[in-house]
Structure 1
Amino acid sequence: MDNTLTAANLCLQRGQRWVIDDVSLTLNGGELVALIGPNGAGKSTLLRLLSGYLSADAGACQLEGRALGQWPAETLSRRRAVMLQQTQLRFDWSVVAIVAMGRAPWGSQRETGIVRDVLALTGCDELAQRRYATLSGGEQQRVQLARCLAQLWRDSAPEGWLFLDEPTSALDLYHQQQLLRLLKKLTVSGKLHVCVVLHDLNLAALWADRILLLHEGRLVAQGLPQQVIKTPVIAQWYGAEVQVSTHPGSGAPHVFLCA
């Protein structure tokens, strides 16, 4: 199987503005890739284009050697899952029911056991019987991650492409750490491939295999964390005064704001 997702010359226009401007990239299987960039850079829009939620005005995306538009909807839903920034639900279901929604593309194949396994894997088992609407923002993010993993679950583990838009934005430090540790662990198997939008540069540097930096809709830097998270790069594209040092435990780049 061709475990790559390629984008060639993607463009998307809104009004007079190019929200995505001639972006080409390749995502490889078994990677955790972080999309970073200042506000309005086009990160969320690019994520939607790569996952097939939006269609480009120009350019093309291919998933595993096949154009995104050529995938039947149900088949694509079994190969990729998307967690958006906000998921509004108009019904007050339990957490178990929300996670079970992820199995919709599969019918009822071993739904109960899979949901139980995913709840345990994500630490959401303690929330299982609560109503989704009563959860905090961070708890809802964790449940939405569980739903996405259930959607991709195949033969005792998630398999396919997982796209996440700021999944740590409402999480406390412990749950940020646990979520990214879990994603990293799952990608090491080579069966799960993750593309995640992150605002926290230090989280991206610590956990991502590769980083893609967007600015005003263009891909302006990409590579290993050590190649992208550098003082001149961050200062140029974020316009902030920063100093980049080294994480004392991992050796990853670590960004400090100048006072």
Structure 2
Amino acid sequence: MSRLSARDLTLAYEDRTVVHDLDLAVPDGRVTVIVGPNACGKSTTLRALGRLMKPAGGSVLLDGRALAELPTKRIAQQIGLLPQSPVAPEAITVADLVSRGRQPHQHWWQQWSDADERAVTEAMERTDVAALADRNVDELSGGQRQRVWIAMALAQETEILLLDEPTTYLDISHQVEVLDLVRQLNHDKKRTVAVVLHDLNQAARYADHLVAMKAGRIVAEGAPDEIVTAGLVKEVFGLDCVVVPDPVTGSPLVVPGAPWQGTSTL
């Protein structure tokens, strides 16, 4: 089952096509991770799934209806999207920015509710930014800002969550925290999550469904332990490697070939 899908999706920037006739169904209630080399179209695809980009051909469907036919507010109540490098309004505080995630749920006769307050508080606690509530966002480090943006997306409380490289700017500890949070949200709240990641090993560890893209097309998709092979890594990334079981999770672990060492002149 898939509430969110793409059919014959073609995406282009002016006359440059970056995604070609793509068919993709995001499995309900699971974590889907999209991987691929730079400029392969993975982030562009995610933007189209969140209606931030208009298709040049084909369509994106939510519950069987094209996104283009649906009211913006309805989409915002169902799909939350955290794009790459979002920009915060000048001098806005952390609490105010996270609170903006509640806008799709508000009405002219009820601007703020106990449910809004609860959602914002929980989102900030989950992302460890509650102590920063009164700080200006532009005063924060890159990693702190990223966690604030994730908190805003969580506060939106959508059933479908799209995250474009959410671990950007984060150290390894906070990367793991964010991805563990994604898994927890999926498990506890049954949210459907689609994530773009650069790190193939993190993708294989956290994904239920893995989508590998190259040159605007899907090369392979399925469970990580079924599709992540040395051959696939070579085809998609051009990398010689060995794939072994992760000693902690048993998921595929990509080990690159020996590093270049040069030759001795002695």
Q: Output aligned runs, 1:138-217, within 5 Å.
A: 138-152=143-157, 159-189=158-188, 191-217=190-216
Q: Distance in 2 between matches of 1:129 and 1:141?
A: 16
Post-superposition offset of 1:113 = 2.6
Query: Where do 1:26-175 residues align within 5 Å?
Result: 26-107=25-106, 108-110=112-114, 111-152=116-157, 159-175=158-174
C-alpha contact 1:8 1:24 (8 A) present in aligned 2: yes
Moved more, 218-227 or 106-115: 106-115
- How far residue 190 of structure 1 moved from its aligned partner, in angstroms, is 5.7
* Paired position in structure 1 for 2:10: 11
**Deviation at residue 227 of structure 1 after TM alignment:** 2.2
Tell me if structure 1 keeps the 8 A contact 2:42–2:213: yes
* Contact 1:30-1:189 within 8 A present in 2 as well: no
1:249 paired residue number: 248
Identity %: 34
CA distance in 2, matches of 1:197, 1:141: 15
Q: Distance in 2 between matches of 1:151 and 1:3?
A: 21
2:264 corresponds to: none
8 Å CA contact 1:42, 1:215 repeated in 2: yes
Which deviates more from structure 2 when the two are superposed, residues 170-179 or residues 2-11? 2-11
Contact 2:225–2:251 (Cα < 8 Å) also in 1: yes
Offset at residue 15 of structure 1 (A): 4.7
Deviation at 1:16, TM superposition (A): 4.6
RMSD value, Cα: 1.4
Q: How has the CA–CA distance of structure 1 residues 102 and 190 changed in structure 2, closer, same or farther, with 3 Å as cutoff?
A: closer
TM-score (norm 1): 0.93
The answer to whether the Cα contact below 8 Å between 2:2 and 2:25 also exists between their aligned partners in 1 is no
Q: What is the TM-score of this pair, normalised by structure 2? A: 0.90
Amino acid at match of 2:8: N
- Once the two structures are overlaid, the 10-residue window that deviates more, 188-197 or 43-52, is 188-197
Aligned length: 252
Which structure would you say has the larger Rg?
A: 2
Does the 8 Å contact 2:163/2:195 carry over to 1?
yes
- Contact (CA 8 Å) 1:80, 1:160: kept in 2 or not? yes
Q: Which moved more, 1:94-103 or 1:116-125?
A: 116-125
Could you tell me which runs of 5 or more consecutive residues in structure 1 were left unpaired when the two chains were aligned.
153-158
Letter in structure 2 aligned against 1:109: S
Structure 2 unaligned runs (5+)? 107-111, 260-266
